[in-house]
Amino acid sequence: MQRVELAEGLIWWPGYLDRAAQEELAADIGTALGRAPLFTPRMPRTNAPFSVRMSNVGPLGWVSDMDGYRYQAFHPETRAPWPDFPARLLALWTDLSGHPAPPQAGLVNWYAPSARMGLHQDRDEQDFTAPVLSVSLGDTAVFRYGGTERRAPTRSIRLASGDILLLSGDSRLAFHGVDRILPGTSTLLDEPGRFNLTLRRVTPA
Ligand code: SIN
Ligand code: FE2
């Protein structure tokens, strides 16, 4: 198993999940989305829609709308609690996060081929000692990462289906984003596009 330290605390496991594991996880996400459908988040203040659609699993979910970015225990449209974490996703946290307390939020991002995500930090959590664990499924993404200041130089890597990335330690607050999706690079999903799953701890243990 290849393990690449891209920067201090920024760990990449290319091809961590084999095809069977990717299929199982994709099926788990399909089931969760049946209960908590993808919604379109909107930028605070401007109300501009994100190009990425989202949902969540776990006790807390990340949402964004006119009232700001936040974690909440229920779906913004159905108002129902988020579905439970799939056990397979929790197992990845146990195996790779190096963090004793369990995750509380599992953000599901769906990138249609034209979707992207601007450079940002994940900083809506109260506990930055816990890492963020990211799993990619479906088409490859051109993923950009930099330092903890926006103006720091950036590099890009291609995150393929089954790849896992950990933002921890000195890279917990690294800027990152997705420049574009490369449609047709994976046969995992029924339609072109990409799922990214990120596991986060929100409150101190
Ligand atoms: C995110 O920053 O929430 C998503 C990153 C990714 O799609 O790889
Ligand atoms: Fe992020």
pLDDT, tens digit (0-9, with 9 covering 90-100), for 96-152: 999 999 999 999 999 999 999 999 999 999 999 999 999 999 999 999 999 999 999
pLDDT digits (tens, 9 = 90+) for 170-185: 999 999 999 999 999 9
Contacts within 8 Å (CB) and 24+ apart, 149-152: 149/175, 150/119, 150/175
Q: Probe ligand 1: pick from 121, 198, 200, max atoms within 8 Å of CB? A: 198
Crossing angle for the helix pair 19-35 and 87-96, to the nearest 10 degrees: 130
Any ligand 1 atom below 6 A from CB of 176:
yes
Q: What is the pLDDT of residue 158?
A: 98
Domain 4-200 homologous superfamily, CATH: Alpha-ketoglutarate-dependent dioxygenase AlkB-like (2.60.120.590)
Q: In this structure, are residues 116 and 53 in contact, taking their beta carbons and an 8 Å threshold?
A: no
> Hey, which residues does 10 pair with through a beta bridge?
7, 167
Q: What is the mean pLDDT of the chain?
A: 98
With cut-offs at 50, 70 and 90, classify the pLDDT of residue 1.
confident
Q: Per-domain residue ranges for the chain?
A: 4-200
> Mean pLDDT over residues 151-163, rounded?
98
Q: What is the pLDDT of residue 71?
A: 98
Residue type, 149: E
Longest CA–CA span in the chain (Å) reads: 44
Residue type, 1: M
